[in-house]
């Protein structure tokens, strides 16, 4: 009955594997040469980013058990074929809006090209949202996922959150190892000042 949810999870893991490959900058360049290695990394990044986006939406909307937060459970807003509990709307809206804003500010700071392809940045960004968290796009992704899961009241999607956080942590570590190779001490100093995924306001 819930086959589509598990298909989305399986495809997400494939996307994550490609994402890991896309940020292996030095390994790809060593294996394929600098120019070709960068191009291959960008292809992996574009494919994995598109897949992650599509299948994350799949996690939110695929058939699965629903849950109700037991505060004003009878107050609901009808949206298309869904009856959305008002409590879910009140909790999810700030998470979705804040997560989207932080992620978009991160994309704006590094450029859409870098964000879309997971390619190495030309310079180390340390201003704006990068002053509060080292990976604003991933932090925003986590907030938006939690918000959308609550918004649609999807139980399995909500329960998937710790797995998603673990995956994002591993991707972040992988990226940072590569960024240390590129920026050296500058990035290590940045790591000491700004947290990885738990923002410092």
Q: What is the pLDDT of residues 81-139, one digit of tens each?
A: 666 778 888 899 999 999 999 999 988 888 877 777 777 788 888 888 999 999 999 99
CA pair distance 179, 184, nearest whole angstrom: 7
Q: Give the percent of the chain with pLDDT over 70.
A: 94
Q: Domain limits at 33?
A: 3-193
Residue 172 lies in a domain: yes
Instruction: Please state the domain count of the chain.
Output: 1
CA pair distance 134, 127, nearest whole angstrom: 10
Q: Give the percent of the chain with pLDDT over 90.
A: 55
When pLDDT is cut at 50, 70 and 90, the band that residue 19 belongs to is very high
- Whether the CB-CB separation of 194 and 139 falls below 8 Å is answered with no
Residue 198 lies in a domain: no
Report pTM: 0.88
More confident residue, 79 or 62: 62
CATH of residue 75's domain is: 1.20.120
- Averaged pLDDT score across all residues of the chain: 88
Retrieve residue 36's tokens: 């070709």
Residue 201 lies in a domain: no
Residue 200 lies in a domain: no
CA pseudo-torsion sign 34, 40, 43, 47:
negative
Residue 169 lies in a domain: yes
């Amino acid at each position: 009955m819930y086959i589509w949810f598990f298909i989305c999870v399986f495809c997400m893991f494939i996307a994550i594997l490609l994402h890991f490959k896309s940020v292996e900058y030095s390994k790809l360049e060593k294996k394929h040469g600098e120019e070709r290695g960068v191009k291959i990394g960008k292809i992996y990044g574009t494919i994995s980013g598109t897949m992650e986006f599509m299948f994350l939406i799949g996690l939110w909307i695929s058939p699965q058990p629903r849950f109700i937060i037991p505060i004003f459970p009878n107050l609901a807003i009808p949206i298309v074929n869904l009856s959305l509990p008002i409590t879910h709307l009140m909790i999810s809206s700030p998470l979705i809006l804040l997560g989207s804003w932080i992620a978009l500010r991160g994309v704006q700071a590094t450029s859409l090209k870098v964000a879309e392809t997971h390619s190495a940045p030309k310079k180390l960004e340390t201003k704006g949202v990068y002053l509060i968290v080292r990976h604003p796009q991933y932090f925003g992704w986590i907030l938006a996922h939690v918000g959308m899961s609550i918004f649609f009241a999807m139980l399995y999607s909500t329960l998937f959150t710790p797995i998603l956080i673990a995956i994002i942590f591993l991707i972040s570590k992988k990226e940072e190892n590569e960024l240390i190779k590129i920026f050296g001490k500058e990035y290590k100093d940045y790591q000491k000042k700004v947290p990885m995924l738990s923002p410092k306001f």
